[in-house]
């Protein structure tokens, strides 16, 4: 088998069939046909996506919200970069806390050099900002002045006209005789006209004011640019200051400080005598316990988006695992036994449509009942000691979210497995009968293998459902993860966090896509009839 067919097979198994024409084109097979397919399966989707980005960029700024304009693609991209930069910086700081010796000195030196480089830049961006401010003020003034002048003059003119009309009306009122009804009616009418006139004049004045407001509110790109530059530099500067601070007070430094202090106490203890001895002994023991605390201390790193993504993925897999462990055996039993199927049908029908939003609080309370004091519970403590997942700080909220995922995602697997088991080929059953296979070997050799493709199709749907459920569950339970990230950003309510919520949309989508792809590969591996799986 040549490399070409190996590549094609790998693409096929991975469900990446849209790459097939590219490979075939590389080997020069029917170039026209391949180019047509590339156009259809690669170029068209890319163009559609570009069109989407264009329309998004076009329409988003038209809508103003409390958190500013709806972010455009470029704003979202910048904010994604910001999220990543924040993650890298936090990681560096956490790292800095653990550094010792030469590597620490080196990093410290680097950070200080960079900080000294930044200082003139800070001054410069501040200057630029001030300049932009000035420019904006003068430009505003130049635009607003004429309008204001016009406004003032028309205001004065109107006031004069009003006064004149008023005086005229008063003069006429005095002249009207007591029984001249027609004249009275005329006066009343004119008075109404006078009031309406005042109202329209006010209206026209208001339109000038609106113009002025608009000019005030209009974007001033130069100034926005200056603010962005300034805040970027300020952020980096703040990060460096923090980094240096962490390096100067990291664990090793604390430990050596305490050690010198301890040595001092010890020498004074052995020099002292009498009543002072106990006082010094107290100092020594207190310092010793301080030392133990310092040795165990960690940098209090906040959860950044990549951490939350990992924690969410871990949570969905935990829930998915629980769901599979329940759904597959129960599904097999249901498929084998019509009695069990009949007994469980009402439960499936009743619980399947229940929303995760209902399950979560219930599980939250139930889990809370098992783990009343998370800090002291053996399960939480044990999970925190585990090597790969210890940093995730698994807590009752995590467990409740995972159980909610399990509860909502077990149904497709259960139903599909039951269907797969119940619809085994009759010929295969006959084979088992002729061979007089016992219950277990019939189960393991005939029933389970023949139901695997449908079971995996169910697992694929389950994982998709679980991923959707999880985001909602995390949002509600404040379990650190993508859902909580969105909730925090929502509560923050600035235009920057608004853009970060859009970043999450893409992160969630891409991870969901990857999970689905993984399941497709598994599904392909267990399906014996080689029928292509839908995408």
Partner 1 sequence: MHEDKYVEIFNLVKAYPNPYGDDIKVVDGFELNIKKGEIIGLLGHSGCGKSTVLTMLAGLNEISDGGIIVDSREISGPGPDRSVVFQSPCLLPWLTAYGNVMLGVERVFKHATKAQRKVIVEYSLSVVGLADSMHKYSRELSGGMQQRVGIARAIALKPKVLLLDEPFGRLDSLTRMDLQDVILGILDREKITTMLVTHDVDESIYMCDRICMMTNGPHAKVGKLIDVDFQRPRVRSEMIEHPKYYDYREQILSFLDECELEKEKIAKQKAKVA
With CA atoms as reference, report the closest residue to 115 among 247, 257, 301: 247
Which residue in 339, 285, 312, 231 sits closest to 477, CA to CA? 312
Taking the complex as a whole, the smallest distance from the CB of residue 457 to partner 1 amounts, in Å, to 16
**Phi then psi for 190, rounded to 5 degrees?**
-65, -35
Structure tokens at 361: 């609080």
245 vs 425, beta carbon nearer partner 1: 425
Using an 8 Å Cβ cutoff, are 32 and 16 in contact? Answer: no
380 lies in the site for partner 1, by CB under 8 A: no
* 363: its two tokens: 């599980």
Q: Hey, is 425 helix, strand or coil?
A: coil
Q: Which residues contact 470 (CB under 8 A, 6 or more apart)?
A: 312, 315, 316, 319, 401, 404, 405, 481, 482, 483
Of residues 425, 404, 418, 517, the one with CA closest to residue 468: 404
Candidates 18-26, 42-50, 100-108, 526-534; binding stretch for partner 1 (CB under 8 A) = 526-534
Q: Which is nearer to partner 1, 376 or 436 (CB)?
A: 436
Token pair of 277, please?
């001895």
- Minimum distance between the CB of residue 353 and partner 1, rounded to whole angstroms? 35
Binding to partner 1 in span 448-507, by CB under 8 A: 449-450, 452
Q: How far apart are CA 308 and CA 314, in angstroms?
A: 10
| Closer of 71 and 458 to partner 1 (Cβ) | 458
Nearer to partner 1, 422 or 507 (CB): 422
- Whose Cβ is closer to partner 1: residue 49's or residue 528's? 528
State in angstroms the smallest separation of the CB of 430 from partner 1: 6
- 406 or 452, CB closer to partner 1? 452
Contacts of 354 (CB under 8 A, 6+ apart): 408
What minimum distance in Å lies between the beta carbon of 531 and partner 1?
10
| CB burial readout 410-443, b (16+ within 10 A) else e | bbbbbbbbbbbbbebeeeeeeebeeeebeeeebb
Q: Which of 105, 528, 532, 535 binds partner 1 (CB under 8 A)?
A: 528
530 binds partner 1 (CB under 8 A): yes
Total number of residues shown for the chain: 535
Shortest Cβ 362–partner 1 spacing (Å): 40
Structure-block tokens of residue 415 = 């139903």
| From 138-146, 262-270, 296-304, 421-429, span contacting partner 1 (CB under 8 A) | 421-429
Q: Is-contact 335 420, C-beta < 8 A?
A: yes
Please report how close the Cβ of residue 87 comes to partner 1 at its closest, in angstroms.
45
Q: Which is nearer to partner 1, 373 or 530 (CB)?
A: 530
Question: What are the φ/ψ torsions at residue 68 (nearest 5 degrees)?
Answer: 85, -170
Contact code string over 428-457 relative to partner 1, x by CB under 8 A:
x-xx-xxxxx---x---xx--xx-x-----
Q: What's the rounded Cα separation, in Å, for the pair 267 and 281?
A: 11
Q: Rounded to the nearest whole angstrom, what is the least distance from the CB of residue 521 to partner 1 in the complex?
A: 17
In whole angstroms, how close is the CB of 425 to partner 1 at the nearest point? Answer: 8
CB 118 within 8 A of CB 240: yes
Residue closer to partner 1, measured from CB, 99 or 447:
447
Number of chain positions touching partner 1 (CB under 8 A): 19
Q: Is 533 in the site for partner 1 (CB under 8 A)?
A: no
Nearer to partner 1, 66 or 436 (CB): 436
- Taking the complex as a whole, the smallest distance from the CB of residue 454 to partner 1 amounts, in Å, to 13
* CA distances, 480 to each of 390, 397, 508 (Å): 14, 9, 15
Number of Cβ within a 10 Å radius of residue 46: 9
| Residue 334: CB minimum distance to partner 1, A | 22
CB of 307 to partner 1, least distance (A): 41
Which region, judged by CB under 8 A, interacts with partner 1, from 9-17, 237-245, 261-269, 525-533? Answer: 525-533
Of 50 and 435, CB closest to partner 1: 435
Minimum CB distance to partner 1 smaller for 103 or for 441: 441
Where along the sequence are the contacts to partner 1 (CB under 8 A)? Answer: 425, 427-428, 430-431, 433-437, 441, 445-446, 449-450, 452, 528-530
């Amino acid at each position: 088998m040549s490399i070409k067919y190996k590549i094609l097979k790998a693409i096929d198994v991975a469900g990446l069939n849209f790459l097939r024409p590219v490979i075939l084109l590389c080997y020069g097979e029917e170039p026209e046909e391949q180019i047509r397919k590339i156009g259809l399966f690669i170029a068209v989707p890319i163009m559609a996506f570009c069109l989407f980005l264009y329309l998004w960029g076009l329409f988003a700024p038209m809508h103003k919200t409390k958190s500013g304009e709806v972010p455009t693609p470029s704003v979202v991209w910048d904010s994604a970069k910001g999220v990543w930069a924040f993650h890298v910086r936090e990681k560096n700081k956490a790292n800095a806390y653990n550094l010792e010796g030469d590597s620490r000195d080196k990093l410290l030196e680097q950070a200080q050099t960079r900080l000294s480089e930044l200082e003139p830049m800070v001054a410069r961006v501040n200057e630029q900002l001030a300049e932009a401010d000035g420019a904006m003020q003068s430009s505003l003034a130049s635009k607003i002045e004429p309008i204001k002048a016009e406004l003032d003059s028309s205001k004065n003119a109107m006031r004069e006209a009003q006064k004149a009309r008023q005086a005229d009306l008063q003069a006429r009122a005095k002249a009207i005789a007591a029984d001249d009804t027609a004249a009275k009616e005329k006066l009343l009418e004119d008075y109404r006209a006078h009031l309406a006139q005042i109202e329209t004049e006010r209206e026209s004045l208001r339109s000038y004011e609106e113009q002025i407001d608009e000019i005030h509110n209009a974007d001033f790109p130069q100034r926005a640019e200056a603010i962005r530059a300034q805040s970027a530099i300020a952020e980096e500067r703040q990060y460096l200051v923090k980094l240096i601070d962490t390096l100067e007070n990291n664990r090793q430094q604390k430990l050596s400080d305490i050690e010198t202090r301890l040595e001092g106490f010890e020498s004074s203890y052995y020099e002292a005598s009498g009543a002072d001895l106990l006082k010094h002994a107290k100092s020594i023991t207190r310092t010793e316990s301080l030392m133990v605390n310092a040795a165990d201390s960690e940098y209090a790193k906040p959860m950044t988006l990549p951490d939350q993504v990992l924690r969410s993925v871990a949570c969905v897999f935990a829930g998915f695992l629980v769901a599979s462990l329940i759904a597959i055996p129960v599904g097999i039993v249901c498929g084998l036994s019509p009695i069990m199927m009949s007994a469980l049908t009402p439960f499936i029908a009743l619980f399947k449509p229940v929303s995760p939003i209902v399950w979560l609080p219930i599980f939250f309370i139930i889990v809370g009942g098992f783990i009343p004091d998370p800090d002291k519970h053996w399960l939480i403590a044990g999970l925190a000691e585990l090597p790969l997942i210890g940093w995730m700080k698994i807590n009752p909220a995590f467990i409740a979210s995972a159980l909610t995922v399990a509860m909502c995602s077990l149904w497709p697997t259960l139903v599909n497995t039951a269907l797969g088991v119940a619809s085994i080929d009759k010929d295969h059953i006959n084979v088992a009968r002729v061979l007089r296979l016992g219950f277990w070997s019939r189960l393991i050799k005939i029933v389970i293998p023949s139901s695997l493709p449908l079971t995996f199709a169910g697992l694929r749907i389950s994982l998709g459902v679980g991923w959707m459920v999880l985001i909602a569950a995390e949002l509600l339970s404040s379990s650190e993860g993508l859902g909580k990230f969105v909730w925090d950003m929502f509560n923050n309510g600035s235009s920057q966090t608004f853009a970060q919520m859009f970043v999450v949309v893409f992160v969630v989508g891409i991870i969901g896509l990857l999970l689905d792809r993984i399941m497709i590969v598994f599904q392909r591996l267990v399906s014996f009839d080689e029928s292509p799986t839908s995408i």
